[in-house]
Amino acid sequence: MYSYCFKVTDVCLFVIHVCFCLVLQAISSLNKYPLPLQNAKEAKILQSFGDGICKILDQKLQRYLRENGPDAPIHSLPEGAPPAGRQDNNSLDPSRKKNAAGDQGKNKGGGRKKREYIPQRRSGGYAVLLTLYRVSQIPGSKGYMFKMELQAEAQQLCDKSFTVGLSLEHRLYGQLRTPVGRELVLDYIIERKRMDDLCGSIIDGRFREQKFRLKRCGLRNPCYLVEECGKAASHLSLPETTLQQAIINTQVVDRFFVKRVQDVRESMAYLTVMTRYLNKLYQNCTLTCRSRELEGEREDEEEEERGTPPCSLISFAEFNHGAIKNKCQTVKEVFARQLMQVSGLSGDKAAAILELYSTPLSLLTAYERCAGEADKEKLLSSIRYGKLKRNLGPALSRTVYQLYCTQGALT
């Protein structure tokens, strides 16, 4: 008992009610779990089991073992008690109660027959398991799902909300805690290039690789800051026309914003102005964290129509993971990089091909199904790419076919 008294208000009653509901949710979650638990720490995987309740349970368990010995049974049930996980269902459904009694009569003198876990149709477990199974059957699936992605996909298969039931999740609990800070990345990234560096990166292939990683990093506004190199321009390995064409392609084909300056002083001035612009742009905005797995274009379009910047930003950790150079890549990512090595095959065109053929094997299988050589050469010609939905064209389609289906060395 506490040594002081307090007046019970509506707020206190609400808190007591919420705590009682959370306890009921924890008991229900525990009853549905089919495996024995050795300690309260293992119960953290269950719904509604937080650090507080697990600590209390561990204290109770330790006291029980001290009073009854270290080998005292902790999984036994009172005599005549129904198996865990079935009591609530039988008490609510008279027909199940009758069937359970009938089953007991049939198995009299023998052990209880163990039943497989079969979730009820349209329940949370049913929706989650079915969604994970369906995703695993999709060719090229990454083999896992993020929590928010899983909730969004499974919700249509479940009659109860995955968020409303818990929000009453923990929302009160979250209000009592200090929110954890999170590093977000603004949707602008700038790659500075001197003309001599641009020349070298085109020759050794780094230019395509850098543009590919900038597109993959998850930021919506990539920018190339191209800086003249003064007298050193006369010693470049590539002609001026080639460099100018590369800059134009970066802006028109790859859709990067390109800013050209004369020297390093102008570069610093531009970066200063850009910093002030971003400070003004985001100063009155509430920033939220988004996942690249779930991002869509509709929300961003609505924000742009209202004249406000997109305020849902990716975390620094996710940005850093997407921009890393030597991380493990999926077959689809490697296939995209292969396609982009073909002259004239931009990122948008590669993405359009990957929507239909996510791996080289799927593309080769499609070629095998074609009736003749002419059909194979035209297989990719009608694929539409970009916002204007233009056809890929017969020339590029024939080039890709020759690249992947020509026996021996290419000439």
pLDDT of residue 128: 87
| pLDDT given for residue 85 in this prediction | 42
CATH class of 188-323: alpha beta
- Tell me the CA distances in angstroms from 249 to 210, 217, 218, one per residue in order: 14, 20, 21
**Identical fold between 1-99 and 331-405:** yes
Radius of gyration of the chain (CA): 31
- Residue 190: predicted pLDDT: 92
Q: What is the pLDDT of residue 261?
A: 93
Residue ranges per domain, the chain? 1-99, 118-160, 188-323, 331-405
Specify whether the CB–CB gap between 336 and 140 falls below 8 A.
no
For residue 282, give every residue at least 6 positions away whose Cβ sits within 8 Å of its Cβ, in sequence order, or none.
186, 309, 311
| SS3 call for 351 | helix
DSSP β-bridge partners for residue 227: 194, 261
Residues of the chain with pLDDT under 70: 1-24, 33-34, 75-114, 140, 163-181, 231-234, 292-310, 322-328, 410-411
Q: What is the pLDDT of residue 401?
A: 94
CATH assignment, 331-405: 1.10.150.670
Give tens-digit pLDDT for 72-88. 777 655 454 444 444 44
Q: Tell me which CATH code domain 1-99 carries.
A: 1.10.150.110
Mean pLDDT of the chain: 75
Task: Report d(CA 65, CA 132) in Å as an integer.
Answer: 40
